[in-house]
Amino acid sequence: MAIISLREALRQAMTEEMERDPTVFLMGEEVGEYNGAYKVSKGMLQQFGPMRVVDSPISEAGFCGLGVGAAMVGMRPIIEMMTWNFAIQAFDQIINHAAKMLYMSGGQFPIPMVIRGPHGAAHMLSAQHSQCVDHMLVNVPGMIVISTVIPADAKGLMKSAIRNNNPVCFLESEMVYGKEGEVPEGEYLIPIGVGDIKRKGEHVTLVAWNKMVYVALEVAEELAQEGIEVEILDPRTLQPLDENMIFESVRKTHRLVVLEEGWGISTIGNYIVDRTVTECFDDLDAPPVRVHNHFVPMPYNETLEHEVLPNKERTIEAIKKVLYR
Amino acid sequence: MPAPTNAQLVEFYKDMLLARRFEERCGQLYVQQKFSGFCHLYIGQEAVSTGSLNAIRKGQDYVISGYRDHVQPITLGMTPREVMAEMLGKATGCASGRGGSMHMFSSKLRYLGGHGIVGGQVPLAAGVGWKIKSMKEDLVILCFMGDAAINQGQFHEALNMAAIWDLPCIFIIENNLYGMGTAISRTCSLNVLADRAKGYNMRQAVVDGRNVLNTYAQMYEIVEETRKTSKPILVEMQTYRFRGHSMSDPQTYRLKEEVERERQQDCLQTLRDHMVAQKVATDDDFDKWEEEISEIVEDSVTFAEESPEPELHTIFDHVLAP
């Protein structure tokens, strides 16, 4: 199996799907001549030409809406947002148009469309460039939300997302576009809505997604030295969520920690805890704990930023808390 | 452009009359509380729908609009039954009771909706234009919007994209002079709304939307030119709504005299006068059509009232596509 980076895995998925389906096109800021702000679409303009790899004006609402309209009449647009921070400009199109169209037309107009881009904080970009919107997206019926940065998962899920007949919000991370992993070549599809156990463990269930999976893996490595075996679950798809994977793990470990980037009020972590407490109340040996951002706009300063983000230290503390250590 | 035949004149008149009587009946049913929610009537603007949509290839060219959307699908060929049933939220409505007054849809007629967010449909039209261009089709899209939509950012973004990429989009501002209760002259610095096109190096046209013959003639040229050149155009359609913005509008923002003055240019009366002068129809004909239309409208109401409610177990249908 080839070892490639996340950006290459995403490019491979998009390229393969564009080769097999002429209705698929990629549109966004800097995706063509500049080769992608984060080089995800490098070389694609050369391969597919300017009608299929399209440099857009800086008009997130506009080109996202263009994608919705094109999807209504049979195209399969991939709309790249330079980051999900900028996609907030397009929330009217995502929430009011893409997500609602099928339902309010009584099933007549599906929107097969992928809206993708990096999500969450990068490094020292301050408040307007460092936030999470995944918790807002999952609370809107009519959309699928995928959040994954493991190269193989990203490839398999991106291919499934492009073939899916619904709006799919696909959340990546610019911090780990260069991180590599084994990725199967050619046809490789991962079903939407199925999570993955990233590490087996007996003592505590740790749910994490996107780049927090890498923090979780570090935490598990460190705690293994102390004899604590952490089971890491990566839902990969946040809407719909693989709840059963979480319940099964908690029934084994009896302890739950959710590690998520973003502010801690009304989050996906809240939902996971709510569902787990409802379904696994008698299995729990400790109240679940969530690790998330401090409730402040992201500061620029490096030390402050590290403190605001849900880091390794706070996760270890949370795990020890549910283990009463 | 071929001049409309006598048969077409009759067709235009009957289409506008159906629109008028249908909307009047909607207004009555609303007052009688047969349905609720919003209800934006098209009364006064019928020539825009009839003139524009008879200038396209119905069922092939695409159409999208805002929420004043009861009439355009009927001009395109939807049955009044399907529209009225949707008004009443019935399972037999054109959106299965999911859309209501603001969200009529028909994939068969390529009517891409009735949209409720002012200006939100304008980028969608650019997307349809993108598809037409990508697939090298010989088609156009008509995108209707109210005058107030031109102050939305999405309008600007969409027109800019349509212009830079030469998309076959016909953006039509139905300028009825008011965005809800605010005169467009108070919210837009331009006297001629179509002048917005200059900022995008886009073609523009001002069309008389009060006289269906003018509307049809001008739109026919615009549609064929757009089909041929694949260049977008911004059309300002000058019109007027005789009724309030919606059913709950006391209309304190305009004078009764203004409305009366506008009623002197009623598109139905103008066409009727023309047809009588040209000896295309007699008073007897108009009486006969009035009766015919009345029956069609009443049939749509009966159909809608007798139609079943959507079944509760279908509430989760169409959240996601298979």
Tens-place pLDDT, residues A115-170: 999 999 999 999 999 999 999 999 999 999 999 999 999 999 999 999 999 999 99
For testing contact with chain B, the best of A63, A72, A160 (most B CBs within 10 A): A72
Q: Using 50, 70 and 90 to split pLDDT, how confident is the model at B1?
A: low
Q: Does the pLDDT of residue A107 top 90, yes or no?
A: yes
Say which of A70, A96, A166 has its CB closest to residue B320.
Answer: A166
Could you read off the pLDDT of A230-285 as tens digits, one per residue? 999 999 999 999 999 999 999 999 999 999 999 999 999 999 999 999 999 999 99
Whether B3 has a pLDDT exceeding 90, the answer reads no
pLDDT at B189 over 80: yes
Q: Which of B220, B198, B218 is nearest to B208 (CA)?
A: B218
A68-83 pLDDT, tens digit per residue, is 999 999 999 999 999 9
Contacts of A141 in chain B (CB under 8 A): 319
Token pair belonging to B4: 């409309």
Among B60, B101, B145, B157, the strongest candidate for a mutation testing the A interface, having the largest count of A CBs within 10 A, is B157
- Residues A32-43 have a mean pLDDT of 97
Q: What is the mean pLDDT of chain A?
A: 98
Using alpha carbons, select from A282, A280, A304, A286 the residue that is nearest to residue A294. Answer: A304
pLDDT of residue B247: 87
Q: Tell me which chain A residues have a C-beta less than 8 angstroms from the C-beta of B95.
A: 104-106, 108
Instruction: Put the strands of the sheet holding B141-146 in their side by side order.
Output: B111-114, B62-65, B141-146, B169-175, B233-238, B203-208
Please check the confidence at residue A36 and state whether its pLDDT lies above 80.
yes
DSSP for B70-138, please give it. SSHHHHHT--HHHHHHHHTT-TTSTTTTSS-TT---BTTTTEEEE--STTTHHHHHHHHHHHHHHTT-S
SS3 A313: helix
Compare CB distances from A105 to B99, B131, B320 and report the shortest one's residue: B99
CA A147 – CA A169 distance, rounded (Å)? 8
Given a cut of 70, is residue B13 above it in pLDDT?
yes
Task: Note the maximum CA span of chain A.
Answer: 59
Annotated catalytic residue within A16, A17, A29, A60: A60
pLDDT at residue B248 in the model: 86
The count of other CB atoms within 10 Å of the CB of residue A300 is 11
Residues 6+ apart with CB under 8 A from B311: B91
Q: Each residue of B94-120: pLDDT tens digit?
A: 999 999 999 999 999 999 999 999 999
ipTM exceeding 0.95, yes/no? yes
Asked if the Cβ–Cβ distance from A61 to B93 is below 8 Å, we say no
Task: Count the Cβ atoms, other than its own, within 10 Å of residue A295.
Answer: 9
Q: What is the mean pLDDT of residues B37-61?
A: 97
| Span B274-295, average pLDDT | 97
d(CA A138, CA B227): 41
CB contact at 8 A, B203 and B169: no
Interchain contact, A106 vs B94, CB within 8 Å? yes
Q: Of the residues A30, A129, A248, A294, which is catalytic? A: A129
Interface of A with B (CB under 8 A): 25, 51, 56-57, 59, 61-75, 77, 92-93, 96-97, 101-110, 112, 141-142, 144, 165-166
Contact across the interface for A51 and B134, Cβ inside 8 Å: yes
Residue identified by tokens 């729990």 is A284
Instruction: Provide the percentage of residues in chain A whose pLDDT is more than 70.
Output: 100
Range B297-319 average pLDDT: 98
Sign of the dihedral defined by the CA atoms of residues B239, B245, B247, B248, in that order? negative
Q: Which domains does chain B have, with CATH numbers?
A: 6-305 (3.40.50.970)
Q: What is the pLDDT of residues B234-256, one digit of tens each?
A: 999 999 999 998 988 989 999 99
Check CB contact under 8 Å for B95 and A68.
no
Mean pLDDT of A220-230: 98
- A105 neighbourhood in chain B, CB within 8 Å: 95, 98-99, 103, 105, 107, 113
Of B215, B193, B220, residue with least CA distance to B204: B193
Alpha-carbon dihedral of residues B226, B227, B231, B234, nearest 10 degrees?
30
**Residue A60 annotated among the catalytic residues of the structure:** yes
B149 contact residues in A (CB cutoff 8 A): none
The per-residue pLDDT for A314 is 97
* Gap from B55 CA to chain A (nearest CA, Å): 21
Strand ranges in chain B using DSSP code E only, listed in sequence order: 62-65, 111-114, 141-146, 169-175, 178-179, 182-183, 203-208, 233-238
The mean pLDDT value of chain B amounts to 97
Share of chain A above pLDDT 90, in %: 100
Q: Do A62 and B160 touch (CB under 8 A)?
A: yes
CB neighbour list of residue B204: distance below 8 Å, 6 or more residues apart: B194, B195, B196, B197, B198, B233, B234, B235, B236
Which domains does chain A carry? Answer: 2-183 (3.40.50.970), 196-322 (3.40.50.920)
Could you give the CA distance from residue B55 to residue B61 in angstroms, rounded to a whole number?
A: 10
Given phi > 0 = left and psi -120 to 50 = alpha, else beta, which region is A106? left
Q: For residue B175, is pLDDT > 90?
A: yes
Nearest to A121 by CA among A299, A248, A295: A299
Look at residue B78 in the predicted model and tell me its pLDDT: 98
Whether A52 shows a pLDDT value over 90: the answer reads yes
Q: Which residues pair with B206 in a beta bridge?
A: B236
Residue A93: closest C-alpha in chain B: B120
Structure tokens at B239: 């019109």
Indicate the burial class of B48 (C-beta count within 10 angstroms; 0-12, 13-18, 19 or more). Answer: buried
Question: Catalytic site residue A294?
Answer: no
pTM of the model: 0.97
